[in-house]
Amino acid sequence: MVNLKGKDILHGAQFSREELERIMDLADTFRIQLADRPGLDLLEGYVLATLFFEPSTRTRLSFETAMHRLGGNVVGFSSAESSSVAKGETLADTIHTVDQYVDMIVMRHPALGSAAEAASIAHSPVINGGDGAGQHPTQALLDLYTVRSECGKIDGIILVLCGDLKNGRTVHSGVEVYKHFNCKLIFVAPEQLKMPAEITSRLKSLGIQFEETNDLVSAIRHADALYMTRIQKERFVNPADYDLLRNSFILTREMIEANNPKLTVLHPLPRVNEITTDVDGLAGAAYFRQAKNGVYVRMALLAMIAGKM
Ligand code: CP
């Protein structure tokens, strides 16, 4: 029995396969329902807070869209500077206060573990919209949903994860959901930005198949899907290190057409330089559909946390 009522969403590892399937099925239902009407009234009267201490386009706006399309309301801020944190207020006091106003909180914050800290304070459910280089669990849910929609299945696919696997919180959450589906994972990263050892060790202990390489072309040749990620400039202490690594992998149309024309290409976005814009016209370029899926998946999550589904 799947029941997310009142639950915090903090880490990709918290979901069972049954919960993942239920979220994706419900996202499908909302996608179909929204095809012939602009919105629903399921969460009428509910208020969601979106507290974004770091920049965001997709996560914040898709959560807000999801809440509006469910008939609820949204309050929040999009930068620390526009909140009383700029006057010196602590995260704890900010959460204590917002918790008095709303029914659910989505938060993005640069500090690792900040979402768990917020959840320990708030009575309202807290959804982690990204905590530093830690986790971004709702992105992993919409990525999983997009793989299912685009590839027609998740079980047994070959999925390449490429880019900044050290700092990319979407891939840290991603492996935690893909592990339920017997996918073969190929990690492509420069040596300095490999998947953290604590994650690869855990995958090994769970018997999850993965390979590590820095050869993107070979990796995509037999893959079903490629998940490109941005080199996370904001996590580098030394700008020169970023400059050295920023163009480590650039996916081009030519690479796809020569090696795997049927490849499904995902990216959590924003992209900087890692997918050339001529890829956008290929049938397998799924990243803007993926962004749209964020609304359906986040609708499903909000409805389930509210206990309406
Ligand atoms: N994918 C993602 O988290 O995008 P934003 O940073 O725009 O929210």
Which structural domains are found in the chain, ordered by start? 12-135+295-305 (3.40.50.1370), 137-290 (3.40.50.1370)
Is the beta carbon of 234 within 6 A of some atom in ligand 1? Answer: no
Residue 33: CB atoms within 10 Å: 15
Mean pLDDT value of segment 265-273: 97
Q: Which atom of ligand 1 is nearest to the CA of 62?
A: 8
Q: Which atom of ligand 1 is nearest to the CA of 57?
A: 7
Q: Which atom of ligand 1 is nearest to the CA of 130?
A: 3
Q: Which atom of ligand 1 is nearest to the CA of 268?
A: 1
CA–centroid distance, residue 170 to ligand 1 (Å): 9
CA–centroid distance, residue 62 to ligand 1 (Å): 9
Per-residue confidence (pLDDT) for residue 176, from 0 to 100: 96
pLDDT exceeds 90 at position 76: yes
CA–centroid distance, residue 108 to ligand 1 (Å): 10
Is the beta carbon of 114 within 6 A of some atom in ligand 1? Answer: no
Per-residue confidence (pLDDT) for residue 271, from 0 to 100: 97
Measured distance between the N- and C-terminal CA atoms of the chain, rounded to whole angstroms? 12
Write down the H helix ranges in 180-286.
Answer: 197-206, 216-221, 239-245, 253-259
pLDDT class of 230 with cuts at 50, 70, 90: very high
pLDDT digits 0-9 by tens, 194-208:
999 999 999 999 999
Tokens matching residue 232? 């996370």
pLDDT digits 0-9 by tens, 42-64:
999 999 999 999 999 999 999 99
CA–centroid distance, residue 74 to ligand 1 (Å): 18
Residue nearest to atom 6 of ligand 1 (CA): 56
Total-model pTM: 0.97
Per-residue confidence (pLDDT) for residue 103, from 0 to 100: 98
Mean pLDDT value of segment 237-260: 96
Mean pLDDT value of segment 67-94: 97
In the DSSP assignment, the letter for residue 183 is: P
Query: Exposed/middle/buried for 268, CB within 10 Å: 0-12, 13-18, 19+?
Result: buried
pLDDT exceeds 90 at position 154: yes
Per-residue confidence (pLDDT) for residue 114, from 0 to 100: 98
pLDDT exceeds 90 at position 30: yes
CA–centroid distance, residue 147 to ligand 1 (Å): 18
CA–centroid distance, residue 56 to ligand 1 (Å): 5
pLDDT class of 14 with cuts at 50, 70, 90: very high
Per-residue confidence (pLDDT) for residue 91, from 0 to 100: 97
pLDDT exceeds 90 at position 276: yes
**Spatial CB neighbours of 62, under 8 Å, sequence gap ≥ 6:** 291, 294, 295, 298
Per-residue confidence (pLDDT) for residue 7, from 0 to 100: 98
Mutate to test the pocket of ligand 1, among 53, 54, 58 (most ligand atoms within 8 A of CB): 58
Mean pLDDT value of segment 250-279: 98
CA–centroid distance, residue 57 to ligand 1 (Å): 6
Asked if 157 and 179 touch (Cβ cutoff 8 Å), the reply is no
pLDDT exceeds 90 at position 66: yes
Is the beta carbon of 56 within 6 A of some atom in ligand 1? Answer: yes
Per-residue confidence (pLDDT) for residue 1, from 0 to 100: 85
Burial readout 90-106 (b: 16 or more C-beta within 10 A, e: otherwise): ebeebbeebbeebbbbb
Percent of the chain with pLDDT over 70: 100
Is the beta carbon of 269 within 6 A of some atom in ligand 1? Answer: yes
Mean pLDDT value of segment 125-145: 97
Per-residue confidence (pLDDT) for residue 192, from 0 to 100: 95
Write down the mean pLDDT value for the chain: 97
Residue nearest to atom 1 of ligand 1 (CA): 268
CA–centroid distance, residue 268 to ligand 1 (Å): 7
Tokens matching residue 14? 């918290």
Is the beta carbon of 139 within 6 A of some atom in ligand 1? Answer: yes
pLDDT digits 0-9 by tens, 155-196:
999 999 999 999 999 999 999 999 999 999 999 999 999 999
**Spatial CB neighbours of 139, under 8 Å, sequence gap ≥ 6:** 59, 130, 169, 170, 173, 174, 268, 294
